[in-house]
Structure formats: structure tokens, C-alpha cells
Structure 1
């Protein structure tokens, strides 16, 4: 038997650790905005930036490098999570007179309820109102008022009635339906109301009630 020692094995190479990849700035901003929106919707808008950064999983320094101020962060959350979710195509669909008006309204408000009036959206909207920020009025003035004008104009056309000249009056008539659907979402998704009637059925009921009231609410159409 040979007494020659076996050659020593070279030390095993440890797998090299890859440095974590840094996210592109736009991707990091999007990630922070999503987490900030969730945090604001649960805790309100009055938190300190240190708590916001911790909730977003970034340092306070990085948060300020992405957004110059808390106000700028809130503004971007509004653009992404509140105003940005409204689909411009809804305006076009509401005006499509080749589709019966009741069907147009039910379709619009069903989609509006399902895709926009989420728990997070509603809580952000309510918190911003309580904080006295311009988030809620800006959205209402820029988006909702236009939708209400379309709804009332189309309802008037369908019923053969005139449209009030006063824009505030037109808007209030539109709010009769829009407010009913919005409050349905608040009851179900903020107040946790456990009514088992399907939301789609309630929306259809509100649309029918609104259309039935139009002849009593709108003036007679003036003959040309």
C-alpha cells in the first residue's frame, strides 16, 4: 500500500452574492406611490414623513429624493389613485345614443362602482376632504361635474324635456343618481353594511328611479 498522501483539494468556491439591483427611478416611484396610497387610505394624510417612509419600505432620505415634499407625494397619489382611475371612454359611452339610455347608465355606474369606488379610493377621498385639501373638490370639478352634465343632457333628450340653463341646477339633478351610487359604495365598503342585495341590482333600481323622475324635474322643451 502506498503511503503517498492524496493531493489536497482546492477550497470550494463560495457562490458570489449579487448586489441587489437598484430599481429605476420611475419603478421606485410607482412602488412608493402604491404603498403610500395604501397607508394614507388607512391612517389619513396627517402622518409624519418618517412614518410614511417606513410604511413605504424606504429611507426618509430616499423618499425626499423621489418626492420633494409630502405635499408633492400627496399630489401624485391623487393623480394616480383618484383622478387617474376615471376612464375617459366612459364619457363617450354615456353619449352613445345607439344604446338605450337606461342600459348606458347602468353599465356606466356598474363599472364606476366596481373599478373606481373601491375601499381605498373612498377612504382617500374622505380623508382628503376632512383634511381640507383640494383633492376632492378638484376631482369633483374636473371629472364628476362633466359626467353629471352628460347624464342630465342625455336624460333630457331621452324624455323629450329641456335642460335647465343654470349649471348648478343641472348638477344637482345629476347628483340625485350619482350620489345614490356613491353612497351605496360608502355603505358597503366603508361602513361595512351587510345588506345582501347585489350592488348591480341596487344600481339598476336607482337608474330606473332617476329616469322616472326626469319628467317632473326638467322643464318642457321649447319648440324651435
Structure 2
């Protein structure tokens, strides 16, 4: 009786999961979550993240015990790790006028964040995930907007010791949010014009400088 010929093709073997270190596996899961959430929003499931990462859902939960912990890792990857410490030096360089400092900063900042995944995750957080947007809002206020208010006070000769009020943050938020919406519009049309972006930043900062000069007296 003839024997059955053994197949030597790769398809005959069961696929093996790649062996990765725990750090590399965790990084791979976060990368898969970033890509998925950028397409579906934060409503995307951990099952779909696991599938994208080529692992089982139970294995995903060994690294991230809840979806919330995975979302925190995505937030850190996209919104925190994208921050360049050199930007702090730019914002604090009092040898330059405030307008120039924040012009240089926003040109560098938008070079980084005017990217499809970053802008989509920011937009989804704004629309659907109040907690993620709250984390982002706090970082922006502390690292960008409050320094803008304080440095402008110093330039105008106003005592910078008093607390930055919510009212004082409204105009900086219009500046910052307006630039991000500008990035979304450019992304939607496929027009990433660096010269146009630099001009938009200059106009937004000029608007803020005029407004802050008109309300130079500290609140009572």
C-alpha cells in the first residue's frame, strides 16, 4: 500500500506566534491600539486590538488588565511622548519676545502633531472620550497656555504672581484650538502648506497679543 507523501510546504505547519520580550510585546499592542483607535475612535474593542497585534485577547489582558489601562498607554504614546523637551527651553527663553518664542514653538509643535494619527485621536477624544480629552486639556494648559499668559504678563509689566484665571485662558484656547482645527482642515483637503501654516500661526498669535494688550490690567 503506497504511503501518503508528506508535505514540506510552509502552509502545512501551524503558524507560530512571534517570540517577543515583554517590553516589545507591550509596545506592539500599544502600536496596534493607536492604529485602531485612530480609525474607529476609542470605541474600538480590545478584541480587535488583539487581532491587529496578532495575539489573543487573554494575552492582551496580561499586559493591560482593562481597556482603560490600554487607553492610558495610547494617550501617553500619542500625547505625552510626542512632547519635545527642547520646546520648554524655547518657551522660557526671555531673550526673545513672547510672540517670537511662541511662533517658533508652534511651528515645531505643528510639525509634530499635524500628522494623521495624532489629529484623528485628538478629534475622537474631543468628541467621544471626555476622560482622555481631560488629560490632554490639563497638559496643554500647564505646558503651553498658562506659560503663554504668564510670559505675556511679564512682557507687559504685569505682576505674574496672581493665579491664571479661566477667563484668561479663553483666548489662548481659541488660539491653540484654532490651530489644531486648521490642521484638520488641511488634512481633509490634502493641502499641507508650510508657508500657509506659518502665516496662520503668526495671525493667531497677533490676535492674542492685541487682546492681551487691551486687557492688560489684572483681574480684580
TM-score range, shorter chain: 0.7 to 0.9
Q: Does 1:36 align with 2:25?
A: no
Please name the residue that 1:98 is paired with: 95
SS of 1:82's equivalent? helix
Instruction: Provide closer, same or farther for how the CA distance between residues 193 and 167 of structure 1 changes in structure 2, counting only shifts above 3 A.
Output: farther
Q: Does 1:78 align with 2:81?
A: no
Q: Does 1:169 align with 2:167?
A: yes
Instruction: Provide closer, same or farther for how the CA distance between residues 96 and 212 of structure 1 changes in structure 2, counting only shifts above 3 A.
Output: same
Q: Which of 22, 46, 49 in structure 1 is aligned with 2:46? A: 49
Distance 1:220 1:36 in 2: 45
The 8 Å contact of residues 17 and 55 in structure 2, kept in 1 or not, is answered as no
Alignment of 1:1-224 (within 5 A): 22-161=19-158, 167-189=165-187, 191-192=188-189, 194=191, 198-219=196-217
Instruction: Provide closer, same or farther for how the CA distance between residues 166 and 44 of structure 1 changes in structure 2, counting only shifts above 3 A.
Output: closer
Distance 2:57 2:164 in 1: 49
The 8 Å contact of residues 35 and 56 in structure 1, kept in 2 or not, is answered as yes
Q: Which runs of 5+ in 1 are unaligned?
A: 1-13
Shift of 1:21: 6.0
Q: Which has the larger radius of gyration?
A: 1
Shift of 1:157: 2.3
**Mean Cα deviation higher: 69-78 or 161-170:** 161-170
Please name the residue that 2:4 is paired with: none
Shift of 1:153: 1.7
The 8 Å contact of residues 162 and 218 in structure 1, kept in 2 or not, is answered as no
Distance 1:171 1:80 in 2: 26
TM-score by length of 2: 0.79
SS of 1:121's equivalent? helix
Shift of 1:39: 0.9
The 8 Å contact of residues 162 and 219 in structure 1, kept in 2 or not, is answered as no
The 8 Å contact of residues 44 and 124 in structure 1, kept in 2 or not, is answered as yes
Shift of 1:171: 1.2
The 8 Å contact of residues 36 and 44 in structure 2, kept in 1 or not, is answered as no
Shift of 1:37: 0.2
Aligned residues: 204
TM-score by length of 1: 0.78
Distance 2:43 2:203 in 1: 39
